[in-house]
Structure 1
Amino acid sequence: MPNARISLPKAKLSAVLGHLAKIPASLSMTTIQTSPDGLWLYQSGHGLDVQLCFPEARTESRVTTSVNTAALAQMVSVAPGEAVEVEVGPSGLKFGTGGYRASLNGLIVDYDEPPIEAEGGVVVPIAELGRAIRCVRHAVGGVNRPHFRGVQLEFSPGNLRAVASDGYRLARYDLGVDGPLNGKAMLPLKPLDAALGILSTQDGAATLQLHGGRLAVIGEAVRLALTPMGQGLPNVENAIPKSYVAEAIVDPRALIQAIRRVSLLSPQDNRRIDLSFSEQRLEVRGAGDYGEGRDEVPLDTYRGEPLALSLNAVYLYDALSCIEGMARIKISDPRSPIAVEALEDARYLGVIAPILNP
């Protein structure tokens, strides 16, 4: 079979390879396969299998080779022009764009990638799926809390929910899409981040399916399979207060700026800031070994008696960052978690446990 000559858009190829290079694997190799359907890239590692097609690079020649992912990404990034001209052969790749010439040695493989299939799953716009996961990602547990270090997707009739929690804060986002699935998949952070990066290069919708203990994500030109963690989140709904005694409507951008200013002087161990709510304003205070800072943020409305409580500045900053438009902060009492949500979008909810005085 003769070598296949193809032309690929440099920007998209470079973005895809950059995300593939982040997938941890003992030997980071990308398998390249030309076909009448287009150029296929295959990569596996760390609980994530990727199959990605460039349909604009169709060729009748069927050639397969495997090359080092990082080296391929670097060679594409330095190639001149907006398109990358590549000759694919069993023993590797040859680049020729303008005066640029380079070759990359490959492994001769007899490769037949098993298809990742999903039938009868939940159809979700790729952009909405990415937004849902990004909005909850800040609540993922740190390396010292491995059981919380992931985002859980929860499938139920009429809804798909993304949830993350580290035990001190919670974030959830309801996509509200209907489908036949029931179940949960706790997706570990590293492969999930790589999958999101790859999906960000795609348009349209994707079908999600739980199959064989894995989550399949099928788009028009991409197929992903992620292996969930063995243990999911506990019942996080128990952390959400059932009633509230006070509610404040505030511009999240103004509050974020106040948090940034006063948290510079907050203690480094817990990043504590003190919040005092009253009828027309919210006072934000941060104090530590080096000094004290205060700022005031006007409240659009406030219902309830004046209240004061303490929160981790980073947790509140993160919970507000996803909100577009005005934010609603709901307080049950100063010793119970608060709820943060978008005033005009009920899909997102953040919950933060307060810092209690000793």
Structure 2
Amino acid sequence: MRVTLPKNLLAERIALLERVIPSRSSNPLLTYLGLAAEKDALVLFGSNGEVDLEVRLPAQLEGEGRYLIPSQPFFQLVRSLPGETVELSLGSELALASGRFTTRLALAPMEGYPELLFPDLEGGEGAFTQRAQFLAEELQRALSQVRYAASNEEYRAIFRGVQLEFSDRGFRAVASDGYRLALFDLERPQPFTRKAVVPARSVDELVRVLRSAEGEVVLALGPGTLGLAVRQEEGALRMAVRLMEGEFPDYERVIPKEFPLKAALDVEPFREALKRVSVLADKQNHRVDLFLEEGRVLLSAEGDYGKGQEEIFVSLEGAPMSLAYNARYLLEALAPLSGRAELGFSGPTSPTLVRPLEEGGYQAVVVPLRV
């Protein structure tokens, strides 16, 4: 098989695969990059056992076949090739040429490499029987704006993932670690009803791929697997990630519905004041106190290095209240927001709801520290 294609295009696409293919694995074949020729396209593929990725590139092709090449030297070489095009010749070994540079790399046999299954862009029959369409930008926003709330602790089990919910009411992404919760709703009715929990690390890879995509994308569900299919200006991309078993317990009950106090505020000055004050917070619990009364909020923190406070004017509706938060949790809840936001306080030790005042599908719940 002989392939010719632009170096910059190849380097751009393998950067996505480089994030997936491990440098070490209990299955040594997973450290290899797969190459195949199909219908005037060079197909690159790889897996780490949890995430499978396939990238299709338009290329000048002669012959056919499927090959495994050592990924790490190949990735390093492609990034530094001197020519504008790359020529690959594959047979008993890989011959690579670009500009005046040439090299040869040994290949591994395909025998023993796992079969990778991906959703069909055209909606054909296969393992992925439930399909939904989204705009790449909206899906990327929904996933990235809740990812921070997923737990990093092994013992948190199912909360180490992001739950995706498909129903005729729309699509929701939600994450929680028990101390905070974030969700994003898209008003896009779905043709089926299902919940699926994606490991948070796999969500990171989905978001990375979606950032490089434009237009419509396909999400598809099969047994224990979520698939993503993306058309690109040059070629296409398909991905499959393993799902976690189970689903979240009823998290709706922690979302407050009644608020003795509401605060409407400009996000940026409040966020910046919170950052400044939190520099002086205790390093163990990052505590920042909020005193809300008479159209203002006083932020205060004290730790080993001293004490700091700052006053911000806000619009208040309800009775005065004093609360304390882990500043990091509150800052992360505010991070996806811009413009004006509303904080709904259900009590000094009860969950607080954070949401945009303008239209938007994002909401976050932060539990205050017990004073």
Identify the match of residue 230 of structure 1 among 224, 245, 265: 245
Per-residue deviation, 1:17: 3.2
* Contact persistence 1:66–1:92 (CA under 8 A): no
Per-residue deviation, 1:330: 0.8
CA separation of 1:310 and 1:95: change in aligned 2, threshold 3 A: same
Aligned counterparts of 1:24 and 1:311: Cα–Cα separation in 2: 41
Corresponding residue number in structure 2 for 1:126: 136
Aligned counterparts of 1:279 and 1:215: Cα–Cα separation in 2: 50
Aligned counterparts of 2:249 and 2:355: Cα–Cα separation in 1: 22
Per-residue deviation, 1:342: 1.1
* Contact persistence 2:20–2:47 (CA under 8 A): no
Q: How does 1:172-251 map to 2 (within 5 A)?
A: 172-220=183-231, 221-251=236-266
CA separation of 1:269 and 1:10: change in aligned 2, threshold 3 A: same
* Contact persistence 1:67–1:105 (CA under 8 A): yes
* Contact persistence 2:53–2:240 (CA under 8 A): yes
Aligned counterparts of 1:143 and 1:241: Cα–Cα separation in 2: 25
Cα offsets for 1:21-51 (capped at 9, x unmatched): 4698533222111222411112122322222
Identify the match of residue 331 of structure 2 among 311, 317, 326: 317
Q: What TM-score comes out, normalization by structure 2 length?
A: 0.88
TM superposition outliers: structure 1 runs of 4+ over 6 Å? none
Q: How does 1:262-277 map to 2 (within 5 A)?
A: 262-277=277-292
Corresponding residue number in structure 1 for 2:70: 68
* Contact persistence 1:17–1:73 (CA under 8 A): no
* Contact persistence 2:130–2:222 (CA under 8 A): no
* Contact persistence 2:277–2:300 (CA under 8 A): yes
Residue identity opposite 2:74 in structure 1: L
Aligned counterparts of 2:256 and 2:295: Cα–Cα separation in 1: 25
Aligned counterparts of 1:14 and 1:210: Cα–Cα separation in 2: 25
Per-residue deviation, 1:261: 1.1
Cα offsets for 1:111-150 (capped at 9, x unmatched): 8755534455110111211111110011011224333111
CA separation of 1:268 and 1:200: change in aligned 2, threshold 3 A: same
Moved more, 348-357 or 280-289: 280-289
Q: Secondary structure of the equivalent of 2:331?
A: helix
Aligned counterparts of 2:74 and 2:202: Cα–Cα separation in 1: 20
Cα offsets for 1:90-116 (capped at 9, x unmatched): 344433322333333322437875553
Corresponding residue number in structure 2 for 1:292: 307
Moved more, 264-273 or 64-73: 64-73
Residue identity opposite 1:161 in structure 2: R
Q: What TM-score comes out, normalization by structure 1 length?
A: 0.91
CA separation of 1:114 and 1:232: change in aligned 2, threshold 3 A: closer
Moved more, 10-19 or 280-289: 10-19
Structure 1: unaligned runs, 5 residues or longer = none
Corresponding position: 1:281 with 2:280: no
Structure 2: unaligned runs, 5 residues or longer = 121-127
Residue identity opposite 1:343 in structure 2: L
Aligned counterparts of 1:107 and 1:22: Cα–Cα separation in 2: 16
Cα offsets for 1:261-316 (capped at 9, x unmatched): 111121122111101112332211111132111112222x2211221101110111
Corresponding residue number in structure 2 for 1:50: 53
Identify the match of residue 158 of structure 1 among 152, 165, 169: 169
Corresponding residue number in structure 1 for 2:181: 170
CA separation of 1:327 and 1:302: change in aligned 2, threshold 3 A: same
Residue identity opposite 1:292 in structure 2: K
Corresponding residue number in structure 2 for 1:305: 319
Corresponding residue number in structure 1 for 2:107: 106
Residue identity opposite 1:353 in structure 2: V
Aligned counterparts of 2:192 and 2:19: Cα–Cα separation in 1: 29
Moved more, 174-183 or 328-337: 174-183
Moved more, 288-297 or 8-17: 8-17
Quote the RMSD (CA, aligned, Å).
2.3
Aligned counterparts of 1:203 and 1:257: Cα–Cα separation in 2: 33
Per-residue deviation, 1:345: 2.5
CA separation of 1:130 and 1:98: change in aligned 2, threshold 3 A: same
Residue identity opposite 1:61 in structure 2: G
Aligned counterparts of 1:94 and 1:325: Cα–Cα separation in 2: 55
Per-residue deviation, 1:182: 0.9
Residue identity opposite 1:124 in structure 2: F
Aligned counterparts of 1:353 and 1:113: Cα–Cα separation in 2: 42
Moved more, 162-171 or 38-47: 38-47
CA separation of 1:84 and 1:253: change in aligned 2, threshold 3 A: farther
Corresponding residue number in structure 2 for 1:7: 6
Aligned counterparts of 1:252 and 1:22: Cα–Cα separation in 2: 40
* Contact persistence 1:19–1:198 (CA under 8 A): no
Residue identity opposite 1:269 in structure 2: Q
CA separation of 1:18 and 1:251: change in aligned 2, threshold 3 A: farther
Corresponding residue number in structure 2 for 1:335: 349
Per-residue deviation, 1:235: 1.1
